[in-house]
Chains A and B, each alone.
Chain A
Amino acid sequence: MAEFDLAIIGAGPAGMAAAVVAEKAGLRVALLDEQQRPGGQIYRDVSRASADRVRVLGADYSYGAGLTTALAESGVQHIHGAVVWAVEDGFRLSYTANGTAAQVSAQRVLIATGALERPMPLPGWTLPGVMTAGAAQILLKGSGVLPQRAVLAGSGPLIYLVAAQMVRAGVPPLALVETQTRGDLSRALRHLPGALRGWRGLAKGLGLIRELRRAGVKRFTGADRLTVEGTDKAEALCFRAGGEDHRIACETVLLHHGVVPNTQVARSIGVSHRWSSAQQAFTPVLEAWGGTDRPGLFIAGDGAGIGGAMVAELSGRLAALKLAEEAGHLSISERDRRAAPLLRARSRELAIRPFLDAAYPPYPGALRPDNDTLICRCEEVTAGEIRQTAALGCLGPNQAKSLTRAGMGPCQGRYCGLTVTSLLSETTGQSPDETGYYRIRPPLKPVTLAELAAMAETGATDPEGE
Chain B
Amino acid sequence: MPADSPFVALSHPERLVPVQVDGKELMLPEGENLAASLLAAGVRSFRETPVSGAPRAPFCMMGACFDCLVEIDGIQRQACMLSVTEGMDITRPRGATHG
Contact = CB atoms under 8 A, between A and B. Distances in A.
Nearest to A56: B10
Nearest to B10: A144
Interface in A400-415: 409-411, 414-415
Contacts of B65: 377, 411, 414-415
A380 B64 CA distance: 17
Interface residues of A, number: 49
B56 to A, nearest CB: 6
B40 A411 contact: no
Is chain A's binding surface mostly helix, strand, loop or mixed? loop
Interface residues of B, number: 37
Interface string B10-44: 11000000000000000000001100110110001
Contacts of A415: 59-60, 64-65
Contacts of B57: 128-129, 131, 233
B42 to A, nearest CB: 11
A134 B62 contact: yes
Contacts of B45: 128, 232-233
B10 A169 contact: yes
B55 A233 contact: yes
Given A131-B61, A232-B45, A233-B44, A146 B54 contact: no
A143 B40 contact: yes
B49 interface: yes
A143 B67 contact: no
A142 B32 CA distance: 8
17 contacts: A36-B83, A126-B67, A128-B55, A129-B6, A129-B57, A135-B62, A140-B10, A143-B32, A143-B33, A147-B7, A149-B6, A233-B45, A252-B6, A380-B49, A410-B69, A415-B60, A445-B63
What are the 9 closest A-B residue pairs judged by CB atoms, nearest first? A128-B57, A143-B36, A251-B6, A135-B61, A410-B66, A144-B10, A138-B61, A380-B51, A411-B66
